[in-house]
Amino acid sequence: MIKAHRILFLLFFCFMASGDLLAQAAKEPTLMTFEAKKKSGDDYELIIHCRIARGWHIFASKPGGDGSLTPASITFSKSIIATYNGPVKEKGKLISENVEEVKAKVNTYENQVDFIQAATIHGKGKIFATFSYQTCNDKKCFPPMKKDIVFEIQ
C-alpha cells in the first residue's frame, strides 16, 4: 500500500513538473517579426523587430558582464543574391547598469529593439538567418534561444 502511494506521488510530481516546464516555454517573453525593407535601388535593410514583455530584457550584442551572458547575434547564410554591408546595428534604448551578481556593467534592451543588417540584394529569392538571444527578468533567465528566419525578397 505504501509503495502504491509513493508511485502515485511520484507520478503526480512528474506531471506537475512537466506542466510547469510547458507553461514556462509557452510564456517566452519575446515576439519577433522580420522585414526586408527596400531603401533605394538594390539597397535593403534586413530587420528583426523584437518586442519584449514588460519586466523582461534581452541582452545586447555586446552584453558586458563577466563573460557568462548570451549576446544577441544574427548569423546570415551565404546567399547568391545578397551582400551584407557592415555589422548588424541595434536600434533601441540601450540600458547599461552595474549588476551586483556579475560585478560588472551589463547592456540590455527592454520593451523593444530592432536588429538591422544593411545589404545589397540583386534579384528575388530568400535569405536565411539564425537569431540567437536570451531573455531574463530580475528572478530568472530562459535558456538561450535560436530562431530561424527567412527574409523573402520580392
pLDDT in tens, 111-139: 999 999 999 999 999 999 999 999 999 89
Q: Which residue has the cell 535569405?
A: 127
29-153 maps to which CATH number?
2.60.40
pLDDT in tens, 5-46: 344 333 333 344 444 444 444 478 999 999 999 999 999 999
Quote the pTM value.
0.80
Instruction: Report the alpha-carbon distance of residue 150 to residue 35 in Å, rounded.
Output: 9
pLDDT band for position 102 (50/70/90)?
Answer: confident
Contacts of 124 (CB under 8 A, 6+ apart): 81, 153, 154
pLDDT band for position 58 (50/70/90)?
Answer: very high
* Residue 16: predicted pLDDT: 41
Instruction: Report the alpha-carbon distance of residue 112 to residue 48 in Å, rounded.
Output: 11
In the numeric block, which cell numbers belong to residue 148?
530561424
Mean pLDDT of 72-95: 96
φ, ψ for residue 76, nearest 5 deg: -95, 135
Is residue 44 a contact partner of residue 36, using CB atoms and an 8 Å limit? yes
The whole-chain average pLDDT of the chain stands at: 86
* Residue 9: predicted pLDDT: 38
* Residue 103: predicted pLDDT: 78
* Residue 101: predicted pLDDT: 79
* Least trusted range by pLDDT, from 39-43, 91-95, 138-142: 138-142
Is residue 120 a contact partner of residue 70, using CB atoms and an 8 Å limit? no
